[in-house]
Amino acid sequence: MSRRALAAKDFFAKKSQDNLVFKLLGSITFWAVVETVLFSALHYLPVGAVNTMFGSLVGTGANYFGFLFIMPVVMTAVFCFMGVDPLDQFDIVTPCLPCALIFVKIACFFEGCCYGIQSPYGVYFSDRGLFEVPVQLIESFNALIIFLFLLSYKKFAKKGTMYPVYMFFYSITRFFSEFLRHEKNILWIFKTYHILCFIGMILGVVSFIFVLTRREKLENFLYKFSYKGKLNK
């Protein structure tokens, strides 16, 4: 095994650091704040780019999935620059995502956005004068279930698999709740988010398998571009 591979293996095997920065990076509270700020920054950014590429196919429905797809790339670059283990950090930050989404969807319910289809058994929204399915609360409940599942899964999860698991389960739950959303169908009974959900499910499964079967190569690759990897050239 080469010197670089040995250094990478030693680096990614470390679970704790005495440095205050590393302790802060390992804090779920810290990552909850980072996730909120990053989501706010990326929430609308992907929409314009996606609309430019695909026009009305995707529309403004790409916001959260833009965050879901782009955030790992951005944060991996940050982790590598700081010389910390990206896989460990993603295992810490991932449960913060559905936890934040619980409250985001509750806020959507009171705001009146992301509303559902009309139904006589729904909730009355005075601003539109309609009874609608409270799909925001359904998605909030889904996020709660995913959050509790991730907390349980973390006890026996393989390193680096938390985020792929979240991506898959968020996509599949959102796929079904999307049928209750008041959105225009773009392909038979399917809406914009159905396409993005399908992509998210595929990416979740593929990345999960890749991390399980190619983790050592992935760690060597990430270490090569990390701050410490640059120093050990």
The residue that leads in pLDDT, 195 or 33, is: 195
- List helix spans (H) across 14-120: 20-25, 28-42, 45-54, 63-82, 86-93, 96-111
Q: How many CB atoms lie within 10 A of CB 104?
A: 17
Exposure string over 127-151, b if 16+ CB within 10 A, otherwise e: eeebebbbbbebbbebbeebbeebe
- For 173-197, what is each residue's pLDDT tens digit? 999 999 988 777 777 888 888 999 9
Look up residue 162 and give its two tokens.
Answer: 């938390």
Give me the pLDDT at residue 54, please. Answer: 37
What are the C-alpha distances in Å from 98 to residues 58, 67, 166? 23, 13, 8
- Cα(232)–Cα(24) distance, integer angstroms: 25
Task: Show me where the domains of the chain are located.
Answer: 18-224
Residue 167 has pLDDT above 90, yes or no: yes
Give me the pLDDT at residue 1, please. Answer: 52
**Of 149, 181, 167, whose CA–CA distance to 60 is shortest?**
181
Please identify which residue in the block is written with the tokens 């409940």.
141
- For 48-92, what is each residue's pLDDT tens digit? 444 433 333 333 445 678 778 888 888 888 887 777 788 888 888
Over residues 165-177, the mean pLDDT reads 95
Look up residue 228 and give its two tokens.
Answer: 């410490």
Instruction: Check: pTM over 0.85? Answer yes or no.
Output: no
